Amino acid sequence: MRLILASTSPRRRDLLARIGAVPDRVVAPDIDETPLKGELPRPYALRLAEAKARAIGPVDGTAVLAADTTIAVGRRILPPAMTPDVQRDLLSLLSGRRHHCITAVCLLMPDGQARIRVCDTVVTFKRLETREIDAYLACGEGLGKAGGYAIQGRAEAFVRTLAGSHSGVIGLPLYDTRALLETAGVPLG
């Protein structure tokens, strides 16, 4: 079965390559990612992953893989850090506390059936000093990212504990993704 990746994220493509999955096409889905009033983080991530897949397919004989990574503190969905000021606020909020990184993965089958898995990873940051936040902002690494950080880069040094999937925090939980692809008959190398 052929595979379309509904994401232009180079990280997701690299993660897929780790399990031997090479998409036949990469397409950017165009959806509204605004949380619904009162929407909780887990249902939000699930809704977006499926919406991204459905924005591309279903496609005859081809499965569509999409994912959404949401950072949450309690019931609060954190936005992506689109400016350094927002990023500073997010890192200050995450400093010294636990948060959830929820990544939902949707595999949309050619018949329109959605197979969905969700991975909830609990990440605890060390207490960040102002100089550490300033240095992180200066490197520009977390801009545009959910929660304002990229665990695969310098922010990994902020992580005191992680319970769950490291690759899920990056943007695609490999265990769950592999299981979805294998059961659907998508060839893996």
Active site residues: 68
Strands 98-108 and 76-78: unpaired
DSSP 138-164: HHTTTTTSBTT--TTTGGGGGEEEEES
In the three-class reduction of DSSP (H, G, I as helix; E, B as strand; rest coil), residue 125 is classed as strand
Closest CA to 159 of 67, 91, 102: 91
DSSP 8-state code for residue 106:
E
Strands 159-163 and 25-26: unpaired
Q: Cβ of 62: how many Cβ atoms within 10 Å?
A: 19
Instruction: Name the helix (H) or strand (E) containing 123.
Output: strand 114-125
